[in-house]
Structure 1
Amino acid sequence: MKLVKTITLSALVVSTQTFAFGDLLKSDDTKDLMNQVSSSVGQISDSPITELLTSQLDVSNEQASSGGAAMLALAQNSLSSANTSELASMIPGLENMGAASSLLGNIDSLNAVYDVFEKLGLDPSMVAQFAPVIMGYLSDQGASSGLMDSLTGLWK
């Protein structure tokens, strides 16, 4: 949880370190930012989605919670208000995501999610591995077909 508290945009919900960002997580400024984000969405790091991601993918708790949170932030910023409300009702801590999103920058496109994944030391292609895990959780929670279809289109 120590490192989880160092960046949690979510996720909820990633695994090779890129050369371009290899030293990024070592800087004090980045660690401070990660701590701020983590405190903004602490519940997401303890969410069932984070647990599913870490158990099904070769990712750390920090990567799972932050990557998942980035994907969910994109959903919150892109979905209709009805779908956003439905999503928020299914994911503990999602209502706290707004503060974390502003700390990491506006997550308004899939490219922004890819950037977050890279900063986490994950290949952006991991989004395609996160999506079915998150979608499976939402399906188990009884998500509507409208929400599921919207997320499928958003995370392609």
Structure 2
Amino acid sequence: MTRTRTLIWTLMLSTTLTSPSYAFFKLGNNAEDLTGTISKTLGLTGNSSTLVSQIAEQFPISGQQATGGVGSMLSYAKQALPAAQSTELTSLLPGIDSLTNAMPQLKNSSLTSMDEVNSVFRQLGMDSSMVTQFAPVILKYLTSQGASTGLISSLTSLWQ
């Protein structure tokens, strides 16, 4: 009897740990389903929702982890960038405030260092090394939205 229970628990645990996060959290299995689910769940709109969906699709994380990770990185960027670049970033991601306010860790706060960003990643259950994995995806997305080379260069420096 004990052996059977152990086998069942082992199978359940291995299934949970090896399933893609979108399947486990029932976030759908394609970009459209994922974007819609994240948008509805977290109240995100437009470009912010698309960016978060791209992150969630590329890494084995939940929509909330993607939102919190992207939100923390952008929150720090808004504070650290010169005013003109911060304005450009906000214009490229009009829903940036919903991103930074979607998670309790970020609500009404301004992150002022990469240490704080790394701390948010850890609070969300992600290794802080994920920042370096998120950065190229965010930069590519912003480039596709027409970000200036100056903004991309500044963000690259910030998120190292």
- TM-score when normalising by structure 1: 0.67
Aligned equivalents of 2:53, 2:44: Cα separation in 1: 12
- 1:9: which partner in 2? none
- 2:136: which partner in 1? 132
1:114 aligned to which of 114, 118, 133: 118
In the alignment, is the contact (CA less than 8 A) between 2:68 and 2:106 conserved in 1? no
5 Å-filtered alignment, 1:2-151, equals 42-43=43-44, 47-96=49-98, 103=107, 105-151=109-155
Residue segments in structure 2 that go unaligned for 5+ positions in a row: 1-41
Going from structure 1 to structure 2, the CA distance change for 1:104 and 1:124 (only over 3 Å counts) comes to farther
Aligned equivalents of 2:92, 2:155: Cα separation in 1: 14
Going from structure 1 to structure 2, the CA distance change for 1:137 and 1:69 (only over 3 Å counts) comes to same
Residue segments in structure 1 that go unaligned for 5+ positions in a row: 1-40
- % same residue: 41
Q: What is the identity, as a one-letter code, of the residue corresponding to 1:142? A: G
Residues 90-99 or 114-123, more deviating = 90-99
In the alignment, is the contact (CA less than 8 A) between 1:63 and 1:120 conserved in 2? yes
Cα drift, residue 113 of structure 1: 0.3
Q: What is the identity, as a one-letter code, of the residue corresponding to 2:112? A: D
Higher relative contact order (CA 8 A, sep 6+): 1
Cα drift, residue 55 of structure 1: 1.1
Largest Rg, 1 or 2: 2
List structure 1 runs of 4+ shifted beyond 2 angstroms. Answer: 95-106
Q: What is the identity, as a one-letter code, of the residue corresponding to 1:128? A: T
In the alignment, is the contact (CA less than 8 A) between 1:44 and 1:69 conserved in 2? no
Aligned equivalents of 2:126, 2:106: Cα separation in 1: 21
Aligned positions, number? 119
* Secondary structure at 2:147 match in 1: coil
